[in-house]
């Protein structure tokens, strides 16, 4: 078998998330169907991604892999074959999915388990005078002004490795311990409030819950110490709102050098389970 790496982007608005689900339109579903047609496969291949985004969440830097019969890609002409496959995929996929690159994956590569970190961005418009309805699919329209400096001060104690059970929907057999590498709010283009966050991995709905944890502080409804106190409790807190999906974008997935891919995969599997 040959493992291929796929770099892709998608508008998540009209998808029921990444993961294939019977009777629903999903990113994995349309991607696997397009691969099967492009490669003329009898059986639908299984595509594994770096981060299984929820319904409505977008991605600009998603990474996935798929294992295919090595006979479809002669070793003497891999670049030509992959270029043709990428062109074919672009013709088969809907307009809300874009294939940027297809490469033969280096030895030891796993889109999910070899990743060092994922980086997300969440966009909020908190000024009615600046609201752009043309960006309603990617920006949350929030009715109250936010204090970015206070939100950053509240976010700082959350960094590092800890149990984020208070802001996660746990999966059976999984762990809610994650290492939060960065968490920062800033003013971006048009005065939008942007949250940039990266971690070794994220639990289900964790990023949107982090947004919901910090917005009440920015509004002045909660004290600066409240987010750290909630996370320290270590149990799901119903007072934390999981914010809408459309403001969230998976921007980037980082991997180690090729020689370290297999080792990283082993470490991650031991932490997360398969």
Dihedral of the CA atoms 73, 99, 200, 178 (nearest 10)? -110
Catalytic residues, by residue number, are 54
Q: Among all chains, which residue has been given the structure tokens 């910090």?
A: 214
């Amino acid at each position: 078998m040959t493992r291929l790496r796929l770099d892709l982007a998608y508008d998540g608005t009209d998808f029921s998330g990444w993961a294939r689900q019977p009777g629903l339109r999903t990113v994995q579903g349309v991607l696997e169907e397009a691969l099967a047609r492009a490669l003329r496969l009898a059986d639908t291949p299984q595509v594994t991604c770096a981060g299984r985004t929820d319904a409505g969440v977008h991605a600009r830097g998603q990474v996935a892999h798929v294992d295919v019969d090595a006979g479809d890609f002669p070793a003497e002409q891999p670049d030509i074959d992959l270029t043709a496959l990428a062109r074919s995929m672009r013709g088969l996929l809907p307009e809300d999915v874009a294939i940027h690159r297809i490469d033969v994956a280096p030895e030891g590569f796993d889109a999910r388990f070899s990743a060092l970190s994922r980086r997300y961005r969440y966009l909020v418009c908190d000024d009615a005078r600046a609201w752009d309805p043309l960006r309603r699919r990617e920006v949350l329209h929030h009715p109250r002004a936010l204090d970015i400096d206070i939100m950053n001060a509240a976010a700082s104690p959350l960094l590092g490795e800890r149990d984020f059970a208070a802001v996660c929907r746990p999966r059976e057999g999984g762990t809610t311990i994650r290492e939060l590498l960065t968490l920062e709010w800033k003013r971006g283009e048009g005065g939008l409030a942007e949250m940039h966050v990266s971690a070794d991995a994220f639990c289900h709905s964790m990023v949107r819950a982090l947004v919901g944890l910090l917005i009440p502080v920015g509004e002045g409804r909660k004290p600066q110490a409240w987010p750290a106190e909630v996370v320290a409790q270590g149990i799901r807190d119903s007072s934390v709102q999981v914010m809408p999906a459309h403001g969230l974008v998976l921007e980037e997935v980082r991997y180690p050098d090729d020689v370290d891919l297999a080792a990283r995969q082993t470490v991650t599997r031991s932490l997360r389970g398969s």
